[in-house]
Amino acid sequence: MIEKQGALTAIVNVYLRDPLENSPDENSLELRPYDTAGGQVYLGWDIKGSDVYLNTLGYSGALISGAPNAGKTVLVKRIAAELALSDVAVSIANGKNDSKFDVFKNAGISVIGDDKPIFLEQLRERERLRQERMRSLPGDYQDQPVDSQPPLEVLIVDEFQEYLSAVTRDERPVVEEITALLTRLIKLQRSAGMFTILATQKVDSQAIPTALRDVIPSKISGYTTTPEMTRMALGNLRDDEPHPDDKHVVPPGKPGRMIIAGQAVIARLFQVANINDEQIIGAIRGGVSVSGSRQ
């Protein structure tokens, strides 16, 4: 007997099919520019075929995680591309220092590697910007008319745990300041029109300090292997909410099957609409949305 894990498990099992397997329509596969007025980044579709978004207005950051091959990188690249298609100021820090974000670097978007001092200086500059905006804005960023708002500032940090790990004694003070600044920014930057996305495959307490995890309001996770990993990735979910460690809800062989929590009353299961590098570079250079495919 399959242990019940909420209504979504029942739906999947009763119909003996994957209700998220196919996109509702071709519009669900598009790479869409960030909705500046609504503060929304399109992610994919849910079990009812409705659009799923990551909201930035009223939020300061998001944690994206999941076991290897869960589809984290594709989701991060979709978000980055959609932000880049709008007036958002996007910066990317790649803790693995590999080539997966070269598509954005080639399009003129700031991408740095795993150099901790460089990343630290980037955070210091963001903190200076936050303080400057808090002095100059007449009120909360989200309360300003859209046409008078400064651009939303988004920092995407992939495999961010690499910046929080001190390999040598000399790196310890650098890592400590990085951790403190990330925590401070995510805690205070919402009113300044700034947003940080932290992505990782490692969600344990050694990879993510509790003080940092606790200030991240929105969380997205692909499949996890244990209930403890689920708690680390998404917080404490109710029994009637979808759990990423339930293989009948988030199958390990379905990249892009994700759960988003912290932005609504109940966590939401969705499928990421995939996009490849050729489509990303074409859209960014052309300034138009392009169709992707189900991951």
Q: pLDDT tens across 244-268, in order? A: 999 989 988 889 999 999 999 999 9
Report how far residue 157's alpha carbon sits from residue 68's, in angstroms, rounded to the nearest whole number.
Answer: 17
Give dist(CA 201, CA 65) in Å, integer: 5
71 is in an annotated binding site: yes
Is residue 1 included in any domain, yes or no?
no
Average pLDDT score over the chain: 89
36 within domain boundaries? yes
Report how far residue 267's alpha carbon sits from residue 289's, in angstroms, rounded to the nearest whole number.
Answer: 28
Which of 47-56, 166-175, 279-288 shows the lowest per-residue confidence on average (mean pLDDT)? 279-288
Range of the domain at 255: 7-294
33 is in an annotated binding site: no
**pLDDT tens readout for residues 5-14:** 455 554 444 3
Task: Quote the CA–CA distance of 264 and 26 in Å, as a whole number.
Answer: 26
Least confident of 14-18, 76-80, 132-136, 208-212: 14-18
Residue 69 annotated in ligand binding:
yes
Global pTM reads: 0.90
Asked whether residue 176 carries a pLDDT value surpassing 90, the answer given is: yes
The answer to whether the annotation marks 286 as part of a ligand binding site is no
**pLDDT value for 207:** 86
Domains held by the chain: number:
1
- Residue 168 CB-density burial (10 A; 0-12 exposed, 13-18 middle, 19+ buried): exposed
Cβ–Cβ contacts within 10 Å for residue 148, how many? 8
Residue 2 counted as domain residue: no
Task: Judge whether 250 lies within some domain.
Answer: yes
Asked whether residue 102 is domain-assigned, the answer is yes
Residue 12's pLDDT is 47
Residue 73 annotated as binding site: yes
Residue 66 is labelled as binding a ligand: yes
Residue 156 lies in a domain: yes
**181 in a domain, yes or no?**
yes
The number of beta carbons lying within 10 Å of the beta carbon of residue 84 is 24
Residue 64 has pLDDT above 80, yes or no: yes
CATH of the domain at 153: 3.40.50.300
| Residue 233 known to bind ligand | no
Under DSSP, the state recorded for 152 is P
- Is 287 within the bounds of a domain? yes
Alpha helices in the chain (DSSP H): 7-15, 72-84, 102-105, 116-136, 172-188, 210-215, 227-234, 277-286
